[in-house]
Amino acid sequence: MSEVVLVHGSCHGAWCWRDVAPALERLGHDVRTIDLPGHGTNPCPLEDITLDRYAQAILDAIKSRALVVGHSMAGFPISAAAEIDPSKIARLIYLCAYAPRDGVSLVDMRMEAPRQPLLEAIEKTPDGLGFTFRETHLAKALYHDCPEGTAAYAHANLCVQAIKPQATPIRLGAAYAEVPKTYIRCDDDQAIPPEYQRTMTEDWPAKAVHALPASHSPFFSMPDRLARLIDRIARGTS
């Protein structure tokens, strides 16, 4: 079937796809999960982490031509990767992710949203270079519909998120524009307001937008359903 690269969001790593990756493999896909620089098993000093390094890590993970799924903040680096080398990307799939615009940063987009549900859930590191999630807010913000034990599992694996790549305005042009795109909205999202997800895709073709009745973490709350949806999108792309 298709080559699928799964890219995690803020503070997460390849570990968050533990249930979706095997579900996609059972459906016949060649699946790769990656740790962006500074995440999981890919250590990098916070001051050295950039949006460009994120994008290059994604391109380096692609064997030939892949469907690239980006969760949450990963909407920015998967888009940056498409701008650098669109020939390696068959389709971008935004999973309750920021769908960027040229010249705008993720921080800018977060502040555009009608609500800021994450403000109480995160705190900056003392050096101001990164942020972490408060353990007391994890379940409410990210995993409220997930199986018991999910928040504890995540807390044991979450890392510091570098702020620099999120504060960097992205540059997108004709290369990015030529890559097909699909959006998966999560209608019970307590991190990126669903109404803002609708705003980001209001001018997208209806067939390019799907919805799940899920929190911000459908990879934990409904991994098989998410895998089947990605499979449907992949079959349409093929």
Section 199-204 average pLDDT: 98
81 with 59: CB under 8 angstroms? Answer: yes
Residue 137 predicted with pLDDT over 60: yes
What pLDDT is recorded for position 5? 98
Both structure tokens of 97: 């992710």
Both structure tokens of 24: 């996609």
Average pLDDT value over all residues in the chain: 97
What pLDDT is recorded for position 237? 72
pTM: 0.98
Percent of the chain with pLDDT over 90: 98
What pLDDT is recorded for position 1? 75
Taking the C-alpha atoms of residue 237 and residue 72, their distance in angstroms, rounded to an integer, is: 22
Residue 44 predicted with pLDDT over 80: yes
Q: What is the pLDDT of residues 58-70, one digit of tens each?
A: 999 999 999 999 9
Taking the C-alpha atoms of residue 93 and residue 234, their distance in angstroms, rounded to an integer, is: 10
Q: What is the pLDDT of residues 90-99, one digit of tens each?
A: 999 999 999 9
Output 15-22 pairs: Cβ under 8 A, ≥24 positions apart.
Answer: 15/40, 15/157, 16/71, 16/154, 16/157, 16/217, 16/219, 16/220, 17/219, 19/219, 19/220, 19/223, 19/224, 20/219, 20/223, 20/226, 20/227, 20/230
Taking the C-alpha atoms of residue 140 and residue 90, their distance in angstroms, rounded to an integer, is: 35
